[in-house]
């Protein structure tokens, strides 16, 4: 008997039970956590740092504000936000995966960042924070791994203060045709080989390539954010649309 589409979701190109996806994604990130930063540099040729810097610049985060770095992994954005909000502000590094959270905590403490950062293991679909709490939420390369993206966006909207903003940095659809074939060749043939060499795990990086292709394109994600309550939603294509930064506000 075929399962109802409401009971299933995508794990890369595979169709799986919704209840199974969280554990399957967790296995991917448990596997790659220790080499996550190195792989980010290798597979993006270091450009991920430029994408994240642009996200910080678009966040308009100021001293004394509260920021949620959701699916924050090893804390690249958290480190920057910690300096911006200062002693009177607060940054929460949240991730559903405890291996990634431990890597982030260890890395940031080694950098001397301790006073204004808290660490929370949390599911984006049911954030354990009060209503109207954060001035800014970022989710960087994490939304595509969420099982119910609409539910997660509504959860983010709930915990944002009026006047707050959400920034979603995520792989997207290239807008330059000639880029598509080269990007596909890199994603499906070269990237898994790099993953095998560095992490001994080609499958996780094959999932990465597949999950990118299953993620909503720029206009679709914009519409999803608007349906979840966000206003003034716009997006910026980065590196020819390989990555896009979406920004929306809660009024």
8 is in an annotated binding site: no
Cα 38 → chain centroid: 17
DSSP 172: -
Name the residue with higher pLDDT: 46 or 205.
Answer: 46
| pLDDT value at residue 1 | 42
Cα 100 → chain centroid: 12
Name the residue with higher pLDDT: 166 or 46.
Answer: 166
| pLDDT value at residue 11 | 64
CA distance 165 to 63: 16
140 is in an annotated binding site: yes
Average pLDDT, the chain: 88
Whether the pLDDT of residue 148 is over 60: the answer is yes
pLDDT in tens, 20-51: 777 766 666 666 666 666 766 777 888 999 99
| pLDDT value at residue 205 | 75
Reduced to 3 states (helix: H, G, I; strand: E, B; else coil), residue 46 is coil
180 is in an annotated binding site: no
CA 105, 110, 113, 115 torsion-angle sign: positive
What dihedral angle (degrees, nearest 10) is formed by the CA atoms of 93, 170, 81, 225?
-90
Task: List domains and CATH numbers for the chain.
Answer: 23-175+207-249 (3.40.50.150)
40 is in an annotated binding site: no
CA distance 79 to 113: 7
123 is in an annotated binding site: yes
Highest mean predicted confidence (pLDDT) among 11-25, 39-53, 80-94, 197-211:
80-94
Radius of gyration of the chain (CA): 17
């Amino acid at each position: 008997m075929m399962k109802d589409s409401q009971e299933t979701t995508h794990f890369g190109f595979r169709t799986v039970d919704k209840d199974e996806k969280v554990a399957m994604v967790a296995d991917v990130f448990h596997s790659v956590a220790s080499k996550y930063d190195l792989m980010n540099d290798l597979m993006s040729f270091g450009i991920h740092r430029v994408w994240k810097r642009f996200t910080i610049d678009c966040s308009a985060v100021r001293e004394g504000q509260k920021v949620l770095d959701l699916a924050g992994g090893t804390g690249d954005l958290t480190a920057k936000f910690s300096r911006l909000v200062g002693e009177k502000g607060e940054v929460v590094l949240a991730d559903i995966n405890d291996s990634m959270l431990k890597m982030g905590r260890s890395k940031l403490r080694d950098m001397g960042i301790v006073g204004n950062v808290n660490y929370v293991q949390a599911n984006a679909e049911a954030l354990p924070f009060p209503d109207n709490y954060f001035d800014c939420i970022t989710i960087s390369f994490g939304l595509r791994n969420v099982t119910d993206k609409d539910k997660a966006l509504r959860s983010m909207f709930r915990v944002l203060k009026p006047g707050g903003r959400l920034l979603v940095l995520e792989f997207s659809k290239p807008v330059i045709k000639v880029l598509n074939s080269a990007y596909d060749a890199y994603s499906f043939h070269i990237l898994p080989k790099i993953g095998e060499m560095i992490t001994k795990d080609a499958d996780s990086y094959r999932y990465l390539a597949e999950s990118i292709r299953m993620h909503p394109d720029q206009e679709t994600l914009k519409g999803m954010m608007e349906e979840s309550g966000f206003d003034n939603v716009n997006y910026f294509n980065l590196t020819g649309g390989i990555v896009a930064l979406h920004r929306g506000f809660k009024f």
